[in-house]
Every structure is written in C-alpha cells, then in structure tokens.
Amino acid sequence: MPEPLDPEKFHIITDKKKFKVMLISILLMLLVLPPIFLIYYRFSINRPSQIDKEITFEIRDGQSISETAQLLSREGAVNSEFLFTLYVFLNNYDKNIQAGVYKIPAGTSIVRLVSMFQHGVNDVTITFLEGWRVEEFAREASKNLDKIDYTDFLNLASGQEGYLFPDTYIVNKDINEDGLLELLSTTFENKTKDELSVEKLKAAGLTKEEAVIFASILEREVYKEEDRPVVAGILIKRYREGMKIDADATTQYAVAQQKICGEIQKASCIPPMEDFYELDWWPSELTIEDINNSSPYNTRKNVGLPPAPISNPGLESIRAVLNYQNTGFYYYLTDKFGNAYYATTLEEHNANVAKYLTD
C-alpha cells in the first residue's frame, strides 16, 4: 500500500484547506454582494418604467401587494415585480397603499408610483419642464387640474417668470391657482437657497436677478449639461465686456411675446387658450426682421440683459451660472443634435456656422 503524500512537500488540498477556501469565499460574497445589490436596487427603483404611454390602473379594496405587483408588471408599469414588492415592504408602505383608479404617466419609476399610491386618487401628478415659459406652466396646470383656470393662473403669476421651479409634483386635485403658485415659488426658494446664497452670488460676481436671468437663457440655449458652465462663462463675459449677449433664445421669447401682445412693451398680456397650440413659443427659424426686433428682451439687438428671465430654469442651469468656466471663447453654437461648438473669433464662429448649421 503506497504511503500518503506529505502535504508539506506536495500541493495537496486537504479537507482543512477546502474548508478555509470555502469560508473565505463565503465571507467575500457576504462583503461584496450586498453593496452591489444595494447599488442595483437604488438604481432600479428610480429607473423609469418601459411603458411609453399613460395607463389607467385600479387598486381594489383588500388587494394584496403581490397581486398589485403582478398586475403592474402585466401592464408594463413596473420593471420588476420583486423590486416593487421589496421597496413597499422595506419601507413599511404596505399599510399606506390606497384603493382607487389611478392615471399612471409613461415612464413612472417605482418610487414615484408607490408615492402616488400612498397619496390616493385625490392627488394628481403633474410635470413642469425646465425651460418652460409661465404660459406653458399655465397650460399644463389648467389641462390637468380642474380648479386651475388658465387666465387666472397667468394673471396671478405675473412677475414670477424664472422663479417657478420646474419639477414633477404630486398635488391635490382641488388645488387652486394661489396654492399651486405658492408651491412652485416656495419649491424654487427651497431648492435654490444653497446655490443662490449670498456667498456664492458674491463669489460669482452676480446678483440673484442676474443669475436667474442668465440661467433662464442658458436653459434654452444649451442641451448638454457639460456644456452649460462653458456657455454660461461666454454669456457672462460678453455681458461684462459690454458686448451684445446674442442669445437666440431671447429673440425667440421676444418674437413670441410680440405675437401675443402686439406691442412688446406692454407690461403683461395673455394669449387666449384657444390660440395656445397655434403659437410657436420658441421659433427656431429667425428672420432678419426677428433679429432686429426692438423688444428689450432681444439680446441680438440690444446690449445688456433682458429685463427679466425668459423661462423657468432648472437647478443644473443655475449651478452652471454660479460655477461658470472662464475660457478664451466668445462664441458658441449648438447643432440639431445638441452638440456645442466654440470659437474665439467671429471668423471662427462663422466657419462653425457654415460647417454645422448649413444644410
């Protein structure tokens, strides 16, 4: 009978070593897998659903969370039954889900969906987009909320352009114009209080009004987040050096405003609701006549800033203005794909126009 091999001389995996390897493997899995799952979980519950249209969904009295998850998955309103159920039970939301018939917007995440189910059918989810004019806010509010009158909203919102925070809100379906405007303006103050602090404004060399006006222009001028600090720096530099800002978005605002008011210098005017969809609020094709529009909002014609914001900017545009980049550029343009191109001289800019904007 052959003698057993000496483990000290040969690479023999003994039972003791096998146990040690297995134990280390288990410990590694216990250390590595939970953080990976946590990252996946947090990403997944905030990821928009794959459904591309609004659906009507009913939760019946006594309906279980697992049944609700199955029905939601069948409708395509959640990406994972398991994650929906896990999110509800981990946060003890199962007792708060209310029966009712819900309108679920396209692309609603699990987090927002559960929030909607907790508020019940007396609440409405409404989204106001970054860069919208106050008239666009009024249209969306009056379309989705029974107690909001389009004209009354605009009358009450006079002078608040730029200071209504664009976001997705869950509001009571019976909210009125005063209540909604207070929510929008209070949210703006709360969301921007750190960015528009005295210290940050002083560091950027801007007043609060200047910062919001620049952000409202930037929101309409630039598509990509990484380009915003660069373009903000160009706009601010041109302003400080006494040059025309030359932002097309201000001309677009002025042209649309003139079509509404007739005389742009009027303090305020309201387009009839029936004309709303007929009006191009941000005309992309500007004529020589448009560029020479005498409106004080038109920075293609006038030196300096518009007298007020031209849209309601989001937080990223406000941050970009307060953290603008100093570069050697004086000119920029964005092509139809949202790509930005920069130039130091007018000749370089004209070459970019010929290359990227000429069909």
Domains of the chain: 55-121 (3.30.1490.480), 125-192 (no CATH), 201-326 (no CATH)
The Cα angle at residue 48 between residues 163 and 133, in degrees rounded to 5 = 25
d(Cα 76, Cα 191) in Å, to the nearest integer?
A: 32
pLDDT of residue 267: 43
- Regarding predicted confidence, which is higher, 237 or 338? 237
pLDDT of residue 265: 47
Q: Which of 1-5, 66-70, 334-338 has the lowest mean pLDDT?
A: 1-5
* Residue 172 host element (H or E): strand 168-172
d(Cα 127, Cα 124) in Å, to the nearest integer?
A: 10
Predicted confidence band of residue 39 (pLDDT cuts 50, 70, 90): confident
Q: Is the pLDDT of residue 6 over 60?
A: no
pLDDT of residue 14: 59
Q: What does the pLDDT average to over 11-30?
A: 65
pLDDT of residue 314: 96
Q: Tens digits of per-residue pLDDT, 142-155?
A: 999 989 999 999 99
Residue with tokens 């709360």: 190
- 61, 99 contact by CB (below 8 A): yes
d(Cα 148, Cα 176) in Å, to the nearest integer?
A: 5
Give the C-alpha distances (Å, rounded to integers) separating 279 from 140, 255, 259, 289, 292.
15, 11, 8, 18, 20
The per-residue b/e assignment along 252-281, b for 16 or more CB within 10 angstroms, e otherwise, is bbbbbbbbbbeebeeeeebbebeebeeeeb
Predicted confidence band of residue 264 (pLDDT cuts 50, 70, 90): very low
Structure token pair of residue 351: 């070459």
Q: Calculate what percentage of the chain has a pLDDT beyond 70.
A: 86
CA 36 remoteness from chain centre: 27
Q: Which of 99-103, 174-178, 336-340 has the highest mean pLDDT?
A: 174-178
The reply to whether the predicted model has a pTM over 0.75 is no
Q: What does the pLDDT average to over 246-272?
A: 75
Q: Tens digits of per-residue pLDDT, 74-104?
A: 999 998 999 999 999 999 998 889 888 888 8
- 116, 58 contact by CB (below 8 A): no
How high is the mean pLDDT of the chain? Answer: 87
Q: What does the pLDDT average to over 224-240?
A: 96
Beta bridge partners of 301: none
Q: Is the pLDDT of residue 266 over 50?
A: no
